[in-house]
Structure 1
Amino acid sequence: MKTKAFFTVVVLLIASLFMVAGNKSDLKGKIQDYSGVGILFSTLEVYKLGGVEGQLICKAITNINGEFELPDLGAGEYKLVIKAEGFEDKVQFVKLSGKDENIGSIRLEGDVITLNPAIIYGKEA
């Protein structure tokens, strides 16, 4: 009898681990500039929608090709905040269903930098 109970507990424990693991997703994609070139060292901040709003779940940085991978996100809705030097920040909303997903390419627009004019004073030689 003890063996049956122990076996039942072990089976239930293993089944629950598979259920939890089955609800995790890897989110993949690529950050690009206007010409389609990947942006190195772009940062992604991931926030979960619903529940505790505004709570940062994880951060990631793109590789040399502008690609990123966010492992082990649970099913649900997320807000991605994408930042890169010289580009405007972008917000992207994603809904995950518990399976791996590739959201493809996200293009960032260049940030306009306004310079003040330089005035040079001097004497004629």
Structure 2
Amino acid sequence: MPQPPHSATPQHAPEDTRPSAVYLVLAQVPHGHVVSYGQLAAMAGLGRAARWVGRLLSRLPAGSQLPWHRVVAAGGRISLPEDSPSGQEQRARLRAEGISIRSGKVDMRRYGWHLPDHSG
């Protein structure tokens, strides 16, 4: 499995524990809320590894129970193309949770989620 470039490799956790840290935080994102890739990385203790988190989530097995659809790009932008099957599924799941999508974005002030000990 290819490794991310050194600059994208989080410094806070050994290589083999990074996916577990991300999955643990992602599993806590509640229904009706979203986090950005960068927020998810930070909450998992991985610093500024947003792109690495995106690549990790793109490799989730089909049928995963993790709420991958609750992860959006910076500023609430939905990064998956609207006409792709995954993009359509993400938008449908978010709407089913009552999350409004306008111009391809989710209002992070309204729907954003933070761990109790993370305020930013």
TM range (shorter): under 0.3
Q: TM-score, normalised by structure 2?
A: 0.22
| Structure whose alpha-carbon radius of gyration is higher | 1
Q: TM-score, normalised by structure 1?
A: 0.22
